Amino acid sequence: MYSAKIDGEATTFGTSGMLYRSNKIMYDRKTNTLWSSLLGEPVIGRLAQSDIKLSIHPVAFTTWSEWVAEHPDTTALSLSTGYYFPGAYAPEDDVESFYSGYRSDSGTMFPVWERDERLATKAEVLGLTFGGAHKAYPVSVVNDTVGGKDVVIVASRITSDVRVYERNGKTFDPAPNAAGNGRPSTLVDNEGETWDVTESRLEAADGSATLARLPSNIFFWFAWFAFHPETELYEGG
């Protein structure tokens, strides 16, 4: 998810109907410039080659049940948008969905020339970019460093719900009471201190410190590699 501000000025974006490397191309309604949805960068039009890049907001891919359990007062976007009939937003397991069977099909709708066979085409990976370095992770709880940035990745074992936080040299593991296959709600660092996992940060249980959440997103492997063929792939435990 990106900020809809260009040079500090708010605008809105739409879907152009075009694809590049089998990834959606957006357009902004202020200049009609075309934007890469994966890179958040203008590719054709007035703003192309301007060095403008949309700011990334952290986002969670999860189930409704997991989300509402943590956020019972959440606001839900209505399917009655006024742009399309509600059936246009049908889930992928509905045969009437525009994307019915897309995830289970091993191919892509259109050719993608940059390929890598280390993972399945549509394996889901967490993609991180820091200091000009790109790295992809099959999700779990991982302590790592990307482009000089110390990160800890906290992921669910049953959904694509994953968060990334600063770790400032600490090493984290799920707390012994972090139950089940869902995303751990507490972590323990290498000094034995307990940390609460929240939407915006990690919070030391005694309130003495916080570590910020970092921008990240989940991608299909083919899409991440197509735009970052120089990417590292995390292969640790």
Q: Are residues 128 and 229 in the same domain?
A: yes
CA atoms within 13 A on the CB side of 234: 24
Low-confidence ranges of the chain (pLDDT < 50): none
Amino acid of residue 183: R
Does residue 214 form part of some domain? Answer: yes
What pLDDT score does 87 carry? 63
Q: Which domain holds residue 33?
A: 5-44
Amino acid of residue 43: V
Does residue 37 form part of some domain? Answer: yes
* pLDDT tens profile 159-182: 778 899 999 999 998 887 665 557
Amino acid of residue 229: P
DSSP 208: S
Which of 3, 222, 17, 21 has its CA nearest to residue 124?
A: 222
Does residue 163 form part of some domain? Answer: yes
Does residue 97 form part of some domain? Answer: no
Q: Are residues 128 and 38 in the same domain?
A: no
Which of 134, 136, 161, 140 has its CA nearest to residue 152?
A: 140
What pLDDT score does 216 carry? 87
Look at residue 79 and give its three-state secondary structure: coil
The contacts of residue 16 (CB under 8 Å, 6+ apart) are 24, 25, 26, 27, 34
Q: Using CA atoms, how far apart are residues 196 and 207, in angstroms rounded to an integer?
A: 10
Does residue 164 form part of some domain? Answer: yes
Strand order across the 41-44 sheet: 13-20, 23-28, 34-36, 41-44
Angle in degrees, CA 184, 143, 118, rounded to 5:
100
Does residue 68 form part of some domain? Answer: no
Amino acid of residue 84: Y
Does residue 22 form part of some domain? Answer: yes
Q: Are residues 133 and 221 in the same domain?
A: yes
Number of structural domains (the chain) is 2
Does residue 59 form part of some domain? Answer: no
Does residue 96 contact residue 87 with C-beta atoms inside 8 Å? yes
What pLDDT score does 179 carry? 52
> In a 10 Å sphere around its CB, with 0-12 CB exposed, 13-18 middle and 19+ buried, how is residue 206 labelled?
exposed
